[in-house]
A and B are shown apart, each in its own frame.
Chain A
Amino acid sequence: MATTEGQLGDGEEPQVGWRHTLAQVRNDPTARFGLYIIAIATSVAIFSAVDANLSRLTLGAYHDYTIGEWLPVLENPETLPPPGEMQTYQPPVFAEGGSWDNPLGTDQSGRDYLSRIIYGARISMAVGFFATFLGLTGGVAIGAVAGYYGGWIDDVLMRFVEIIYSIPALVLVIVFTVFVSGGNPDVIYAILGVGIATVPVFSRIIRSRVLSVREMDYVEAARAAGVTDRNIIRRHIIPNSFAPVLVYATLQIGFAILIVAGLSFLGYGAQPPTPDWGQMLNHAHGQMHVNPWMSIWPGVAILLTIMGFNLFGDGLQDALDPRIDN
């Protein structure tokens, strides 16, 4: 085959590492687009909390509420209409009766819908990331160990994982809600439930890669050299098995957001008055006859976010595939 073997001094770009991967992604328009959406969503999520007075448009007429400590109290008293005069269920600006004060209208308590959508990004992104992170860490740990050692360790761990797999995420969330907090739903339990429910998939993905990586000569070389199992897994097995996990993780963030939205829809995620897209959908569902617009905006937000992750995930998959060169 007339390929060029590595010749020292060619000054080639590195074929490994995140630098290379990033370069590949940069050359892929779809992946870039996905990345932009994610970037926007993430900055919206972060910055919507930082400056309470960003602009009247985004944060006007905003009620206060807290969840833990990382959601600050927001108040803009000047803009709050006196009690009793809250303008509820206002339509968006392009419909009759709307105004630029509330471009997407208001909700059942007169709160600006656009602000709530933006704020909801925070919850969704956080949930998406944390749940996926949980699943990934747990899954990689279990899968890598199971795949590397094989034998009864593999059998036991995989059966354990399968048990988790057989329990739907919702059930796990309910279990946590009931047994840990005595029945008070909270978004934390949603994260825990979804995270744990994702562990099986991650562990399977990495286990299958580990099965082939552990046959590589460099692993045997490390063992022959006297490197401990723990270090072998850490330095050789996991870095070389990680690519498919990373790809799946980006896609999984999208799923997690969707699942938690579903949970919130059912009442098991973020609780009012916290704006959460799923929960907003829940409420909007019941108000279709009063204000049909309310159900569209959360749905659109969910759609865009998930699409962003999916596009990026696809692009990442291509970028990490050594056979495809962008």
Chain B
Amino acid sequence: MSNETILEVDGLKTHFYTEQGVVRAVDGVSFDVREREIVGIVGESGAGKSVATTSILRLIEEPGQIVDGEITYRDLTIVGFEEQDDGTLTPREAMLSNREMRDQVRGNEIAIIFQDPMESLNPVYSVGHQVTEFIELNRELSGGDARQEAIDMLREVGIPEPENRFDDYPHEFSGGMRQRVLIAMALGCRPTLIIADEPTTALDVTVEGQILDLVKDLQTKYGTSFIWVTHDMGIVAEICDRVNVMYLGEIVEQGPVDDIFHDTKHPYTQKLLESIPRPDRTVTELDPIAGTMPSAINPPRACRFHTRCPDARVACTEVEPRFVAVGNDADGDGDEHEGEHNDHRTACIKYDDVGYWDSVPLEKVGDRDIQYVGDRS
């Protein structure tokens, strides 16, 4: 079932240069998206999910900057650097210019849907106008054709009487309807990839159900891939094919959705699943993750989760974890081999061969004394 890879992100780093310091919002993130699949990015606020996805479309603004990494969409280089003699990184020749991004990528190849539909729709223009505008910008249609296409898209996403509602304004729609409009706008451009940034967080659960159904239908019909950003594990379980779990600017675990839930490897993912209440059974005790997510300005040294991890050992403060395959890793050596089911990976030294098990456990779970990056001689 191996589909072609359409988007590849490798070692993405996006930093924000603020007065308080450099916020390392995304600090080395790698994942890919294949045809016809829904890839989830899950994590709490501050993990960097939204920054990662807006980086893909190069929508990061001052004081933020993409400082490293490769992002390739099919054969287009969205982000690419080359190292100069003095060690600095400069954008590669092949990297698309802003104009090229606008013309070639944004909207017509990769579209994005944001969380709050009221914020994303201009309140002074009718809904039909906005959808038509999108279509005109990104496809070879204009005038009456574009309008008809807009009406068709609105019907497609389940807006009743789209011809009549074409001239209605955003505030005349309910939240769920507005979100459908946004989906119509995104879809109307027939993109290959849609980035959905928490699109159902602000919606009621029954409306959310309708939207999820709609998305699944559209995916089947048009073959669109999705990157779905959320903090809701229920949604992840429901629609994602593969999942990336993010914590403080890094991906700590990635793999097929079943593996993430039923063969959880990383302690953060594990604790996350243990700390959420369930609708399908009564949990007698929630076991929250101790402490709070540290600041991204001075993240903890080595493994960023060590300040809150119940399994942390001294080695976790010294060795920078790298991705190791934890899927059916046939020979158990942590390396990816041809033919092995190596889609499930985690960045935790427990599964690596760097001396975790010989190390002494760290005391005091919770807001431990944070080991700063670059600290200590």
Contact = CB atoms under 8 A, between A and B. Distances in A.
Are A and B in contact, CB atoms below 8 Å, in the complex? yes
Interface of A: 1-5, 7, 10, 325
B19 A4 contact: no
Q: Is the interface of A mostly helix, strand, loop or mixed?
A: loop
B50 A4 contact: no
B295 interface: yes
Contacts of B45: 1
Contacts of A10: 295
B292 A4 contact: no
B316 interface: no
20 contacts: A1-B45, A1-B50, A2-B16, A2-B23, A2-B25, A2-B26, A2-B46, A2-B64, A2-B249, A2-B296, A3-B23, A4-B20, A4-B23, A4-B295, A4-B296, A5-B46, A7-B294, A7-B295, A10-B295, A325-B19
Nearest to A2: B25
A47 B19 CA distance: 42
**A-B pairs with the 10 shortest C-beta distances?**
A2-B25, A4-B295, A2-B23, A2-B51, A2-B296, A7-B295, A2-B16, A2-B48, A4-B297, A4-B20
A1 B296 CA distance: 11
A187 B48 CA distance: 63
- Interface band, chain B: 10 to 19
Nearest to B296: A2
A7 B25 CA distance: 16
Q: Is the interface of B mostly helix, strand, loop or mixed?
A: loop
A251 B290 CA distance: 51
Interface string B29-59: 0000000000000000110101100000000
Interface in B274-302: 292, 294-297
Contacts of B297: 4
Contacts of B20: 4
- Give the one of A1, A2, A3, A325 with max B CB within 10 A: A2
Contacts of A1: 45, 50-51
A155 B249 CA distance: 53
B247 to A, nearest CB: 13
Contacts of A2: 16, 23, 25-26, 46, 48, 51, 64, 249, 296
A325 B64 CA distance: 17
Contacts of A4: 20, 23, 295-297
A133 to B, nearest CB: 37
Nearest to A325: B19
A151 to B, nearest CB: 26
Interface string B4-20: 00000000000010011
A5 B249 CA distance: 15
B53 to A, nearest CB: 12
A3 B51 CA distance: 11
Nearest to A9: B367
Contacts of B50: 1
A4 B296 CA distance: 7
Interface in B37-90: 45-46, 48, 50-51, 64
Contacts of A325: 19
A174 to B, nearest CB: 47
B250 to A, nearest CB: 13
Contacts of B292: 7
Nearest to A10: B295
Interface string B76-107: 00000000000000000000000000000000
Interface string B137-162: 00000000000000000000000000
